[in-house]
């Protein structure tokens, strides 16, 4: 029996094997389990005992198949929606991806706008690495993270003796980015005194290091980003209008996470995978209550906040499923027993997406008194796709 078991597990690794023997001892049972048997039954046995063991084995096989299927689905989803580590399937973000591909190969200046935490730096990286300059440097600088007294020398460099501690020449970020891309993050924080110098550098494609009278020609693709409304900053006198028009040749707006909630299940799955590896955890999913919170919370910190919440939850989780108790108190609200997802018995991210999609379709149809054309417009999908989903969810 043991010889057969060993041979079976070597040739059919994933097969579930149940051992039956008239010589049942604790030692033989342990040995059988070590060799890969799922269970061990001693003769004489009762029919109910065998049936129960077979039922458990069948359930185990079903779970194994479901896990393989789920992993395949996740891989297909990530392959479909992963654009340079930007996880999204929403219509708004797919439009962003299309725009990235259109502008990536050109030197055209791009201004990325959107709330803090929406992923503006990721978009800048995607533009650079999908363009003709991808083999050259991508140099980033946070215009709001460096004191005004140091920012000019960081951008344009300096000559030896330009100031007290300038003991040798130092090239600036623009020169570092020659033939590549410079990413000017938080450009709305750039002091007015430097805005005119930046404008000149962009217009003339040349810089003058601090303490120098010489001019250096530069070939740099410029991508800027801001969380501020630069139009309002211009009205307040905080930002130059001519610089605004110079950097805003192509504008890429990143919507806040609350406006693209359909991306939350994908992002959740993505971040769970990342932090499982980083923290050496084995989180397999989240409860329906957690998904309900994720889908209804306004996420003022956007994708960055979602990532931080998931990292914290995984770190503190006491089992393999993230529960409400694992979330920070700022995120959670009093448990609602009538929660739509909870009452639907949702237990996975995939199910949550389908349940919420079905509910959104129902609401759109209710709002429009069953007018499918108007409902499709509200849902921002085509009428044929809506009809297909109505059939899929049995709503016709």
Per-residue pLDDT tens digits for 271-297: 999 999 999 999 998 988 899 889 888
Query: How many Cα neighbours within 13 Å face the side chain of 217?
Result: 1
Give the model's pLDDT for residue 75.
Answer: 56
Give the model's pLDDT for residue 78.
Answer: 45
Tokens 């009538």 locate to: 338
Which residue, among 170, 169, 167, 168, has the nearest Cα to 155 in the 3D structure? 170
Q: What is the CATH number of domain 2-79?
A: 3.40.50.2300
Give the model's pLDDT for residue 288.
Answer: 86
Q: How far is CA 373 from CA 61, 259, 376, in A?
A: 44, 22, 5
Give the model's pLDDT for residue 254.
Answer: 95
Backbone angles phi, psi at 220, to 5 degrees: -135, 135
Question: Terminus-to-terminus CA distance in the chain, angstroms?
Answer: 57
For residue range 130-175, what is the model confidence (pLDDT) as tens digits?
A: 999 988 999 999 998 898 888 999 999 988 877 778 788 888 999 9
Residues facing residue 252 across a β-bridge: 112
Q: Are 115 and 229 in contact (CB under 8 A)?
A: no
Give the model's pLDDT for residue 367.
Answer: 83
Hey, what are 76's tokens? 């297909």
Cβ atoms < 10 Å from Cβ of 163? 12
Q: How far is CA 10 from CA 14, 27, 28, 36, in A?
A: 9, 22, 19, 10
Cβ atoms < 10 Å from Cβ of 34? 8
List the chain residues with pLDDT less than 70: 1, 9, 12, 22-27, 29, 70-84, 333-353
Give the model's pLDDT for residue 375.
Answer: 87
Tokens 């395949």 locate to: 72
Cβ atoms < 10 Å from Cβ of 203? 11
Q: How far apart are CA 364 and CA 61, in angstroms?
A: 40
Give the model's pLDDT for residue 381.
Answer: 82
Task: Delimit the domains of the chain by residue range.
Answer: 2-79, 88-255, 259-392
Give the model's pLDDT for residue 341.
Answer: 52
Give the model's pLDDT for residue 386.
Answer: 86
**pTM of the predicted model, to two decimals?**
0.66
One fold for 2-79 and 88-255: yes
* Span 88-255 CATH architecture: 3-Layer(aba) Sandwich (3.40)
Give the model's pLDDT for residue 336.
Answer: 41
Q: Are 29 and 41 in contact (CB under 8 A)?
A: no
* Span 259-392 CATH architecture: Orthogonal Bundle (1.10)
Q: Which residues contact 356 (CB under 8 A, 6 or more apart)?
A: 261, 295, 341
> Peptide bond preceding 33: is omega within 30 degrees of 0, i.e. cis?
no
């Amino acid at each position: 029996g043991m010889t057969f078991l060993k041979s079976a597990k070597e040739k059919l690794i994933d097969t579930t094997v149940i051992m039956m023997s008239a010589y049942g001892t604790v030692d033989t049972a342990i040995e059988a389990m070590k060799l890969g048997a799922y269970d061990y039954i001693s003769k004489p046995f009762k029919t109910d005992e065998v049936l129960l063991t077979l039922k458990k084995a069948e359930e185990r096989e079903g779970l194994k198949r479901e896990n393989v299927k789920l992993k395949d689905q996740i891989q297909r989803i990530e392959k479909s929606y992963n654009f340079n580590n930007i996880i999204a399937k929403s219509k708004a973000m797919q439009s962003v991806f299309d725009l990235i591909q259109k502008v990536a190969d050109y030197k055209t200046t791009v201004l990325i706008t959107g709330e803090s935490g929406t992923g503006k730096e990721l978009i800048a990286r995607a533009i650079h690495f999908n363009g003709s300059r991808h083999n050259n440097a991508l140099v980033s600088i946070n215009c709001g993270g460096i004191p005004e007294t140091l920012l000019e020398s960081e951008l344009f460099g300096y000559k030896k003796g330009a100031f007290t501690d300038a003991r040798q020449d130092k090239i600036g970020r623009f020169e570092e980015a020659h033939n590549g891309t410079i990413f000017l993050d938080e450009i709305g924080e750039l002091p007015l005194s430097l805005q005119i110098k930046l404008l000149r550098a962009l217009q003339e494609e040349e810089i003058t290091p601090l303490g120098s009278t010489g001019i250096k020609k530069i070939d740099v693709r410029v991508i800027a980003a801001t969380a501020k409304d630069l139009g309002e900053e211009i009205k307040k006198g905080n930002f130059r209008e001519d610089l605004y028009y110079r950097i805003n040749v192509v504008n890429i707006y990143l919507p806040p996470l609350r406006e693209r909630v359909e991306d939350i299940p994908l992002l959740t799955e993505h971040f769970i995978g990342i932090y499982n590896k980083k923290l050496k955890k084995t989180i397999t999913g989240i409860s329906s209550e957690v998904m309900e919170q994720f889908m209804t919370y306004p996420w003022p910190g956007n994708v960055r906040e979602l990532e931080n919440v998931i990292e914290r939850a995984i770190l503190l989780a006491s089992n393999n499923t993230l529960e409400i108790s694992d979330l920070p108190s700022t995120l959670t609200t009093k448990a609602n027993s009538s929660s739509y997802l909870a009452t639907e018995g949702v237990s996975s991210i995939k199910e949550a997406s389908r349940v919420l999609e079905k509910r959104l379709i129902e609401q759109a149809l209710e709002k429009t008194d069953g007018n499918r054309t108007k409902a499709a417009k509200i849902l921002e999908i085509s009428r044929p796709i809506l009809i297909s989903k109505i059939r899929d969810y049995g709503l016709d």
